[in-house]
Structure 1
Amino acid sequence: MRSLWIALGGLFFALGVIGAVLPLLPTTPFMLLAAGCFAKGSPRLHAWLLSHKTFGPLISNWRAHGAIPRRAKVIAVAMMAATFALSVGLGLPSVALIPQGLVLSCVALFLITRPEGPKAR
């Protein structure tokens, strides 16, 4: 079972790294999933991820404060809006646009209402 947690953690970490480069794939949720999997499978990998210069603060901020940095919020909401605009531009049918718009709106609302961290309080 331990190997499965490590493999899942590696998969989520890889998706998070890809998400840091590709605008349509989120980074933070995958890093949170990777941290959770590594915590169950490998204390060494979990500690490494938490101490990572780029991804560690995202995880620590979420765990300590339920916070998402403003920059991450802005990028995420902008990418969701761009994705929806592209869907409209491609002429997707209403049966696809309505659920997509509802889901993206709910996710954006969730992100916007999260605190930005201890400095924002």
Structure 2
Amino acid sequence: MQGILLRRALAGFGWLMVALGIVGVFLPVVPTTPFLIVGAWAFSRSSRRFHDWLYGHPRLGPPLRAWDRYGVIPVHAKMLSVAGMWGSLALVILFVSDGWLLPSLHAAVITGVTAYVLSRPSRPPNG
């Protein structure tokens, strides 16, 4: 019984992530691929049929396959993610923190994440 409930919860979570990814297709400030990756992960543990549908989808599948096979993060996604991370540091400095510890920790984490994001290829080989 618990297995069935977990699979249904993961499938529902997967569909929520796919819905958010589809919103990202139309709103440039909402990322598409990260939501689809999480949705694919949830489907991989709940429904092989939905997982295969998502990977095979003509519009949603290619960025998933590019990430899965080559670790691709497109240039526009890199720019948005890096700008968002460093913009969040500015917000922490201006509105959240009274000292230097939180902004320093935040900066250390996003420096590492920025390096990772920028180190990923921007397109598949021969693409």
Q: Taking structure 1 as reference, are residues 104 and 114 closer, same or farther at Cα in structure 2, changes over 3 Å only? A: same
In 2, distance between residues paired with 1:84 and 1:76? 13
Corresponding pairs, count: 119
User: Aligned letter for 2:14?
Assistant: G
2:71 aligned partner, one-letter code: G
The residue number in structure 2 matching 1:32 is 37
Give the structure-1-normalised TM-score. Answer: 0.77
Equivalent position amino acid for 2:105 in 1: P
> 1:77 deviation in Å?
0.5
Moved more, 38-47 or 69-78: 38-47
After superposing on structure 2, the runs of 4+ consecutive aligned residues of structure 1 that deviate more than 6 Å are none
Distance across 2 between alignment mates of 1:63 and 1:29: 12
Cα distance change of structure 1 residues 75 and 97 upon mapping to structure 2, 3 Å threshold: same
- The yes-or-no answer on 1:103 pairing with 2:103 is no
2:66 aligned partner: 61
Provide the alpha-carbon RMSD of the alignment: 2.6
Q: Which amino acid aligns with 2:74?
A: P
User: 1:78-115 CA deviation, whole Å, 9 max, x = no partner?
Assistant: 11111112222226232221111111111111100011
Cα offset, 1:19, TM superposition? 6.0
Residue in 2 that maps onto 1:48: 53
- Asked if the contact 2:31–2:77 (Cα under 8 Å) also holds between the matched residues in 1, the reply is no
Is 1:3 paired with 2:16? Answer: no
**Residue number in structure 2 paired with 1:75:** 80
Instruction: State how far apart, in whole Å, the 2-side matches of 1:32 and 1:91 are.
Output: 31
**What amino acid maps onto 1:59 in structure 2?**
L
- Structure 1 unaligned spans of 5+: none
Unmatched tracts of structure 2, length 5 or more: none
Counterpart CA distance in 1 for 2:19 and 2:108 is 28
Contact 2:67–2:73 (CA under 8 A) maintained in structure 1: yes
